[in-house]
């Protein structure tokens, strides 16, 4: 395999047809070129296979996945975006100036940007889009107030092409929040169907939606730069093997995240395909429900010690994950090497811990009892990114120490609903840890006062550090607070971490010259995907 921009590159393509510091930020306006001319030079349509989230809805305010859909499909863009080191940079913005108190943000917009319907992206249009997130954000589950408070005042100066955001809260770096897909800029006057037809500034525009199949996209004729394809067919695919088969069968030119180790490795070894793998900032982990049987310290600690995470990451899922035990990936600069973990894999020690706590198998059926009841954990997950395979491996390893577990594999939406309702003991998920270039939002999952704390975890030291983090601007002090929070979770055996996922984009080498995957998992279809010569 070749090395490319710090990522592993092998050859691969994919899919399956589904029936049928905060000073001024630099950056300049891109030259305007004809999308139709660019499309004509390629003479074709890109076929792209991907998993469907939230039934493919593209309204950034519907829920988190819907905002990701719109940006991933090349429909929407935000004022800022992340590079592959998760540094924030301008996108629709030209520059950004802030006040000393971090409460006034003046953003200069790029000149000449248009929405896909030909409407100018004026300062007033941008302000209206952001105001919509404030006014209508509560209608869905996207929770935009996590990125911009409802008290924020947004004003536009069309003559200067600037917007000014004044907040009551001091934000360490509001640019990062404004880069999140929920905060994408849309044409609020021109969009009549947010669910299936949101109008953005991206290189492609929605032409048609086919239920359960996908989207037909057309090149944005008003885009400010060359659009490589005349159109894109987005095809919703099933599991990872379906993606690989679609790619090999020629139904798609590109697919994202073939997450079955055998399929991905076969594509890497085949020179007919390009496989681009990004350094992972996603964490595969299992929430531990502290409002159930796992509130028992000895039982929870033994569960951690019974799971051979290294073998599961390396063998069970074939290296799709890099094993680690903290909720933040070891490749991020948050002092992973300074953390200590008392509950590393040790099956015999796990058995002794349970025995000493009086959690024993008293009736000889192989399953230990707690408070007179046999232990049977409800472990929920969904079929994506190797999560089901890891849960099933954990199920077998728990049985070796006398703990039964029922692994319930559903779709991501049903798992989410069960998690929110507390209908689980372990809940396996795969989440981006630095969605805004910073882990604050992610760490809120374990903050006692946060409504996103679906595991009912509570630790006063963790909560104190989290509260300080919200208003701390010094990078070194922020790192120390984040280190403290990680250590609290480790000491409390609060999260079963499976490892850090490496995202991938696979393409047909004879049809596609370039199809990169980015560290921030928001940018799938873009102008970087280009046809082979």
Task: Encode pLDDT of 474-511 as tens digits.
Answer: 889 999 999 999 999 999 999 999 999 988 999 999 99
Strand pairing report for 204-210 and 214-219: antiparallel
What pLDDT, on the 0 to 100 scale, is given for residue 6?
Answer: 29
pLDDT digits (tens, 9 = 90+) for 60-94: 999 989 999 999 999 999 999 999 888 899 999 99
* Length of the chain, in residues: 533
What pLDDT, on the 0 to 100 scale, is given for residue 40?
Answer: 34
- CA nearest 21: which of 98, 104, 110? 98
pLDDT, average across residues 390-412: 95
Give, as one character, the DSSP assignment of residue 208. E
Give the number of other CB atoms < 10 A from CB of residue 318. 17
pLDDT digits (tens, 9 = 90+) for 453-466: 999 999 999 999 99
Q: What is the DSSP string of 383-429?
A: SSTTHHHHHHHHHHHHHTTT-EEEEEEE-HHHHHHHHHTT--SEEEE
As beta bridge partners, residue 234 has 48, 215
Distance CA 446, CA 30 (A): 42
Give domain 282-501's CATH number out of 3.20.10.10, 3.30.2010.10, 3.10.105.10, 3.40.710.10: 3.10.105.10
With contact defined as beta carbons under 8 Å apart, do 391 and 425 qualify? no
CB contact burial 87-103 (16+ within 10 A = b; e otherwise): ebebbbbbbbebeeebb
Distance CA 88, CA 188 (A): 25
Q: Where in the chain is the domain with CATH 3.10.105.10?
A: 282-501
CB contact burial 378-394 (16+ within 10 A = b; e otherwise): bbbbbbbbbbbbbbbbb
What pLDDT, on the 0 to 100 scale, is given for residue 223?
Answer: 97
Q: What is the DSSP string of 347-387?
A: HHHHHHHHHHTT---SSSSS--EETTEE-EEEEEEESSTTH
Distance CA 139, CA 399 (A): 44
Task: Look at residue 22 and tell me whether its pLDDT is greater than 80.
Answer: no
| Consecutive H or E run containing 479 | helix 475-491
What pLDDT, on the 0 to 100 scale, is given for residue 33?
Answer: 35
Q: In this structure, what token pair is assigned to residue 110?
A: 């790029």
- CA nearest 408: which of 389, 380, 385, 382? 380
pLDDT, average across residues 38-55: 76
What pLDDT, on the 0 to 100 scale, is given for residue 145?
Answer: 86
Question: Average model confidence (pLDDT) for the chain?
Answer: 89
Using a 10 angstrom Cβ sphere, with 0-12 exposed, 13-18 middle and 19 or more buried, the burial of residue 85 is: exposed
pTM reported for the whole predicted model: 0.79
pLDDT, average across residues 339-361: 97
Task: Look at residue 32 and tell me whether its pLDDT is greater than 70.
Answer: no
Q: Where in the chain is the domain with CATH 3.40.190.10?
A: 17-237
| Consecutive H or E run containing 263 | helix 261-268
What pLDDT, on the 0 to 100 scale, is given for residue 144?
Answer: 85
Give, as one character, the DSSP assignment of residue 277. E
- CA nearest 217: which of 207, 227, 209, 202? 207
pLDDT category of residue 449 using cuts at 50, 70 and 90: confident
User: At 303, is the secondary structure helix, strand, or coil?
Assistant: helix
Residues of the chain above pLDDT 90, percent: 76
- Report the range of poorest mean pLDDT among 2-16, 288-302, 433-447, 477-491: 2-16
Residue 403: HSE in the Cβ half-sphere, 13 Å Cα cutoff: 32
All residues at 6 or more sequence positions from 242 whose CB lies less than 8 Å from its CB, including other chains: 16
Distance CA 436, CA 442 (A): 9
What pLDDT, on the 0 to 100 scale, is given for residue 171?
Answer: 92
Give domain 17-237's CATH number out of 3.30.450.20, 3.40.190.10, 3.30.1330.80, 1.10.3720.10: 3.40.190.10
Q: What are phi and psi for residue 429, nearest 5 degrees? A: -145, 170
Sheet strand arrangement including 162-166: 93-98, 104-109, 162-166, 153-157
As beta bridge partners, residue 208 has 216
With contact defined as beta carbons under 8 Å apart, do 38 and 228 qualify? yes
What pLDDT, on the 0 to 100 scale, is given for residue 17?
Answer: 31
Task: Look at residue 35 and tell me whether its pLDDT is greater than 60.
Answer: no
What pLDDT, on the 0 to 100 scale, is given for residue 113?
Answer: 98
As beta bridge partners, residue 372 has none
User: At 51, is the secondary structure helix, strand, or coil?
Assistant: strand
Give the number of other CB atoms < 10 A from CB of residue 342. 10
pLDDT, average across residues 27-47: 47
| Consecutive H or E run containing 39 | helix 35-42
Strand pairing report for 45-51 and 231-237: parallel
pLDDT category of residue 140 using cuts at 50, 70 and 90: confident
Residues of the chain above pLDDT 70, percent: 92
Q: In this structure, what token pair is assigned to residue 268?
A: 């890497």
């Amino acid at each position: 395999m070749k090395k490319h921009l710090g990522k592993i590159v092998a050859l691969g393509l994919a899919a399956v047809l589904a029936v049928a510091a905060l000073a001024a930020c630099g950056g300049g306006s891109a030259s305007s070129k004809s999308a139709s001319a660019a499309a004509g030079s390629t003479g074709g349509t890109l076929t792209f296979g991907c998993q469907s989230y939230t039934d493919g809805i593209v309204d950034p305010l519907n829920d988190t996945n819907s905002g990701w859909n719109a940006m991933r499909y090349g429909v929407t863009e935000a004022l800022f975006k992340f590079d592959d080191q998760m540094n924030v940079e301008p996108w629709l913005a030209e520059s950004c100036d802030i006040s000393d108190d971090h409460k006034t943000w003046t953003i200069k917009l790029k000149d000449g940007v248009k929405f896909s319907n030909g409407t100018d992206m004026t300062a007033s249009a941008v302000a209206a889009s952001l105001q919509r997130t404030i006014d209508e954000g509560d209608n869905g589950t996207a929770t935009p107030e996590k990125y911009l408070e409802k008290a924020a005042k947004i004003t536009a100066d069309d003559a200067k092409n600037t917007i000014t955001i004044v907040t009551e809260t001091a934000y360490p770096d509001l640019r990062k929040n404004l880069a999140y897909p929920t905060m994408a800029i849309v044409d609020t006057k021109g969009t009549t169907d947010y669910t299936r037809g949101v109008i953005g500034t991206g290189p492609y525009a929605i032409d048609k939606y086919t239920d359960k199949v996908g989207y037909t996209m057309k090149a944005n004729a008003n885009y400010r730069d060359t659009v490589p394809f005349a159109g894109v067919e987005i095809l919703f695919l099933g599991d990872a093997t379906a993606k690989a088969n679609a790619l090999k069968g020629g139904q798609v030119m590109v697919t994202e995240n073939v997450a079955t180790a055998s399929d991905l490795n076969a594509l890497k070894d085949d020179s007919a395909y390009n496989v681009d793998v990004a350094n992972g900032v996603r964490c595969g982990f299992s929430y531990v429900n502290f409002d159930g049987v796992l509130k028992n310290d000895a039982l929870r600690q033994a569960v951690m010690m019974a799971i051979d995470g290294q073998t599961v990451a390396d063998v069970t899922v074939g290296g799709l994950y890099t094993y680690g035990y903290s909720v933040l990936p070891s490749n991020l600069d948050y002092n992973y090497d300074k953390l200590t973990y008392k509950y590393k894999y040790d099956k015999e020690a796990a058995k002794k811990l349970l025995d000493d706590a009086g959690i024993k198998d008293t009736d000889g059926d192989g399953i230990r009892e707690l408070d007179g009841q046999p232990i049977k954990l409800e472990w929920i997950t969904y079929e994506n990114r190797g999560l089901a395979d890891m849960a099933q491996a954990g199920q077998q390893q728990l049985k070796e120490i006398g703990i039964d577990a029922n692994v319930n594999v559903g779709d991501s939406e049903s798992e989410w609903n069960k998690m929110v309702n507390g209908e689980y003991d372990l809940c396996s998920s795969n989440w981006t840890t630095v969605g805004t270039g910073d882990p604050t939002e992610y760490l809120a999952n374990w903050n006692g006062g946060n409504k996103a704390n679906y595991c009912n975890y509570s630790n006063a030291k963790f909560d104190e550090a989290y509260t300080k983090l919200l208003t701390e601007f010094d990078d070194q002090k922020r790192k120390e607070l984040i280190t403290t929070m990680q250590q609290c979770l480790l000491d409390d055996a609060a999260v079963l971490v499976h490892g850090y996922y490496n995202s991938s984009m696979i393409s047909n080498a004879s049809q596609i010259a370039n199809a990169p995957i980015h560290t921030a998992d928001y940018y799938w279809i873009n102008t970087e995907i280009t046809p082979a010569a």
